Amino acid sequence: METRETSVAGWIVGPPLSPAGGVRIFGADLSRPLPPELLEAIRAALLRHHVVVFPGQSLSREQQFRFAASLGEVEPPRPRGAEVKRHGVAHVISNLDEDGNPVARSSPSANDHWHTDKPYHPIPPALTTLYAVELPPQGGDTEFANTAHAYAALPEPTRRRIAPLRVVFRAQFATGPQQPTAVHPLLRTHPETGHKALYLGNHAAGILGLPEADGRALLSALLEQATQRRFVYTHRWSVGDLVMWDNRCLLHRALANFDRTRHRRILHRSLVKGTAPF
């Protein structure tokens, strides 16, 4: 793994954070408009390292939205009650209840399961930006699994077997017309690099054309393959970190490694629209 740092127009691009991905860019002020050459450097770092960390930021939700919009069209979050206007700018992700108290939540679709963002949409987001506003004293980490590396490590017969398969993704495991559903290739081609990656996660409900039990067994085995420690980068958050990642070749999950009933964890999220998986 590389250990050297490079400089881009006064910014410092650090060495890779892990063999699975991740890089830090120091000296960036994302609250201000960025010139084209720096945006290109960010895009290049994302394609090479999949996770890009900008430490030490101080961002309003509007400023975060503007940064995400400089990389592509931003998806509007779903309005929630009185927060309709502000949720049009960024989505608040937290462990707080309606009264602002910390609470432990768990469900089959919760963020502490391995997933990629919104695969149950016909056109899932390409990129996610997540900004740390308030964190527990320890823990609350996020893990990223490199599904391109995981695919490349599969035996050739397995790669041939899964090449034509398509996955049914649902917003929830429960069936019903209210849950968004989409069908995408199990083996996804990155539209910019051409690299192949597994496309799966906790929203994957089955494989088209396979018996339910067989589909779930295959998805479980491939998820186990993709989330081996050698394919995972763990980000340990600091307040002011903005982390962006590539949903087209990564899974991620939030670690519940803190007391969620005592400590607050608040982050702001913006999603950049992608293209239909192929």
pLDDT in tens, 6-51: 666 678 899 999 999 999 999 999 999 999 999 999 999 999 999 9
Count Cβ atoms below 10 Å from residue 15 Cβ, excluding itself: 14
Question: Could you tell me if 122 and 182 are in contact, meaning their C-beta atoms sit under 8 angstroms apart?
Answer: yes
Name the strand (E) or helix (H) holding 148: helix 147-152
| pLDDT (0 to 100) of residue 76 | 78
66 is catalytic: no
**The amino acid at 210:** L
C-alpha angle 115/246/5, rounded to 5°? 130
What 3-state DSSP class applies to 33? coil
- At 84 the pLDDT is 46
d(C-alpha 5, C-alpha 16), whole Å: 9
Residue-level pLDDT at 83 = 47
Q: Check 24, 61, 66, 117 and give the catalytic one.
A: 117
- Annotated catalytic residue within 91, 235, 252, 260: 252
pTM for the model stands at: 0.91
* Lowest mean pLDDT across 4-13, 106-115, 140-149, 240-249: 4-13
d(CA 164, CA 162): 6
Which of 50, 66, 91, 115 is catalytic? The answer is 115
According to the model, what pLDDT value does residue 82 have?
Answer: 44
Q: In the Cβ-directed half-sphere of 212, how many Cα atoms lie within 13 Å?
A: 2
**How much is the pLDDT for 86?**
46
- Can 117 be counted among the known catalytic residues? yes
Q: Is 115 a catalytic residue?
A: yes
Q: Is the pLDDT of residue 77 over 60?
A: yes
Mean pLDDT, residues 241-250 taken together = 98
Residue pointed to by tokens 């502000």: 86
